[in-house]
Amino acid sequence: MMTQSQVAAYMAEKLGLTKKQGKTVLEELNALVVRELKKEGSLRLAGLGIFRKRKTKARMGRNPATGQEIKIPARTRLRFTAAKALKDSVLGTK
């Protein structure tokens, strides 16, 4: 698994930037994703996939240790759906 520093260094090398500039690019991309998810609720990056906010409903669950029923509150979750191009590149086509 690559760390943030390794990704920033890779980006800097590929784009001909300094490591500090590579880190700034990565931080700005992160800020863009956060801003768009807060504002619009989704962000599509061509060839990579879609980041989305998804609301889940309140529901009843069960504590596996005691078997007691518990109420699970509604909440907002983040979801990423990989693009077909990404899936095909990583997993290969069938």
Containing 56, the helix (H) or strand (E) segment is strand 49-56
Q: What is the arithmetic mean of pLDDT over 73-92?
A: 93
The proportion of the chain whose per-residue pLDDT surpasses 70, expressed as a percent, equals 99
How far is Cα 91 from Cα 74, in angstroms, rounded to an integer?
A: 34
CA dihedral 6, 9, 14, 17 (to 10 degrees): 160
What pLDDT is attached to residue 92?
86
3-state secondary structure of 3: coil
Could you tell me the pTM of the whole model? 0.73
Number of domains in the chain: 1
CATH of the domain at 72: 4.10.520.10
d(CA 55, CA 35): 18
Residue range(s) defining the domain that contains residue 24: 4-91
